[in-house]
Amino acid sequence: MISKRIKSLSPYKTETTVAKVRLSSNELSIDFPDYIKEKIAKEVAKIPLNKYPDPHARELKQIISQRIGVNPENIVLGNGSDELIYYLSIAIGEFDRGVFYPVPTFPMYQISAKILGRDPVEVKLDKNFDIDLEESIKAIQEKQPALAYFSYPNNPTGNCFSKEKIEKIYHLNLFCVIDEAYFDYSKKSFMDQAVKKDNMVILRTLSKIGMAGLRVGILIAKEEIAYEINKMRLPFNITYPSQVIAKLLLTEFYDFIQENVQKVIQERDRVYNALLSFKELEVFPSEANFILFKVKSMKACELHKKLIQEGVLIRDMSHILDNALRVSIGKDQENDAFLEALSKVLC
Ligand code: PMP
């Protein structure tokens, strides 16, 4: 029998609408060129598909740990950081203690809590999309959650919360997960603290820097914590092709990846300034690879639909934030197409 917990869930929503320009999933929209794909194909052809991959993904872990500047023992790899969020929601605290996160934010924190029957302790962000410290402290003292998630920068608002506020919440004796999925675009991190602390971990991912298809998420923590989380990891959770391809890309083509990240940062600033010129929009600054905005002259769902008719798909966020939409930063031509479509439908 399916449990009430599962029956009460709604399926995770992903945008499946077909559109010429897709700026809805916060991916990096620049794919690897043919000469790199050919190299990948050669490496993939060598994989013995009848064999399991290295269960510990040792070589990939070694490369990732060097790139981050920690030891492999500080790292647990997941099938995307989504899998690591599941692991953390299972591993940290007993299930009768809730899970705290400021909202609106990335839905997996809520989904993983609800699947386990843990109380989701949600506190609304303040008007600057920062943590409402007073309300958060109140909710934490009242409901005593054991675990807290902070998307840093926050998806979908795009900003990094105040570090001091996160630290204050950490000192309330909660285990804090700092989800730095968009770190490459913000360069802000809790890394120096996390590898020393007993109650803090960092999440990173290869998904936002051009490798979403590989499904590689990274948990960084003090060795003792990484050791415990690693015990519950599903065996062989990083597939053979993912290990081989990620190793190749993070060694031989790392500069290419970094150049793409830089291009997106430049494009983000250009798109942000262009959006500011629309008087019908309220635009929010971003430290990630997407921008959040609100529309004043029509309903967000209406604007969303009209943009699809123009061949541009972005994300309607109005189910979690009043009249808001989120656009991922794409290649310059894609961003131009979005801005042109926007001018057309807003006038
Ligand atoms: N954390 C945040 C804040 C995200 O926005 C996302 C993806 N949208 C993830 C985690 C999941 O990333 P992954 O592809 O590594 O599972």
Cβ contacts of 39 within 8 Å, gap of 6 or more: 248, 252
d(CA 200, CA 180): 13
26: left (phi over 0), alpha (psi -120 to 50) or beta: left
Q: In this predicted structure, what is the pLDDT of residue 300?
A: 96
Minimal-distance CA residue to ligand 1 atom 1: 181
d(CA 50, CA 52): 7
d(CA 5, CA 137): 27
Ligand 1 site, residue 106, Cβ cutoff 6 A: yes
- DSSP state string for 232-261: HSPTT-S-HHHHHHHHHHHHHTHHHHHHHH
Whether 13 shows a pLDDT value over 80: the answer reads no
Cβ contacts of 334 within 8 Å, gap of 6 or more: 21, 23, 29
Ligand 1 site, residue 186, Cβ cutoff 6 A: no
Whether 14 shows a pLDDT value over 90: the answer reads no
Residue 11: pLDDT band with limits 50, 70, 90? confident
**Cα 275 to middle of ligand 1, angstroms:** 25
**Cα 112 to middle of ligand 1, angstroms:** 13
Whether 55 shows a pLDDT value over 80: the answer reads yes
Whether 240 shows a pLDDT value over 80: the answer reads yes
**Cα 64 to middle of ligand 1, angstroms:** 18
d(CA 275, CA 255): 30
Whether 262 shows a pLDDT value over 80: the answer reads yes
Q: What would the pLDDT profile of 216-234 be if each residue is shown by its tens digit? A: 999 999 999 999 999 999 9
Ligand 1 site, residue 157, Cβ cutoff 6 A: no
Average pLDDT rounded to a whole number, residues 1-29: 88
Ligand 1 site, residue 180, Cβ cutoff 6 A: no
Whether 275 shows a pLDDT value over 90: the answer reads yes
Ligand 1 site, residue 155, Cβ cutoff 6 A: yes
**Cα 85 to middle of ligand 1, angstroms:** 9
Residue 12: pLDDT band with limits 50, 70, 90? confident
Residue 9: pLDDT band with limits 50, 70, 90? confident
Q: What would the pLDDT profile of 63-118 be if each residue is shown by its tens digit? A: 999 999 999 999 999 999 999 999 999 999 999 999 999 999 999 999 999 999 99
Segment (H or E) for 342: helix 332-346
Using only the alpha carbons of the chain, give its radius of gyration. Answer: 20
Ligand 1 site, residue 170, Cβ cutoff 6 A: no
d(CA 100, CA 147): 6
**Cα 178 to middle of ligand 1, angstroms:** 12
- 206 Cα distance to chain centroid: 10
Ligand 1 site, residue 105, Cβ cutoff 6 A: no
Q: In this predicted structure, what is the pLDDT of residue 17?
A: 86
Question: Which of 191, 129, 199, 194 shows the shortest CA–CA distance to 165?
Answer: 129
Whether 59 shows a pLDDT value over 80: the answer reads yes
Q: Residue 114 in contact with residue 94, Cβ under 8 Å?
A: no
Q: In this predicted structure, what is the pLDDT of residue 10?
A: 83
Least confident of 1-15, 210-224, 278-292: 1-15
Average pLDDT rounded to a whole number, residues 141-156: 98
pTM: 0.96
Segment (H or E) for 221: none
d(CA 222, CA 286): 30
Ligand 1 site, residue 26, Cβ cutoff 6 A: yes
Residue 189: pLDDT band with limits 50, 70, 90? very high
Average pLDDT rounded to a whole number, residues 149-156: 98
**Cα 81 to middle of ligand 1, angstroms:** 6
E strand segments, the chain: 21-22, 75-78, 99-103, 120-124, 147-151, 175-179, 200-205, 217-220, 281-283, 290-295, 312-313, 315-316, 324-328
d(CA 185, CA 238): 25
- Among 103, 208, 211, 317, the mutation site with the greatest number of ligand 1 atoms within 8 A of its Cβ is 208
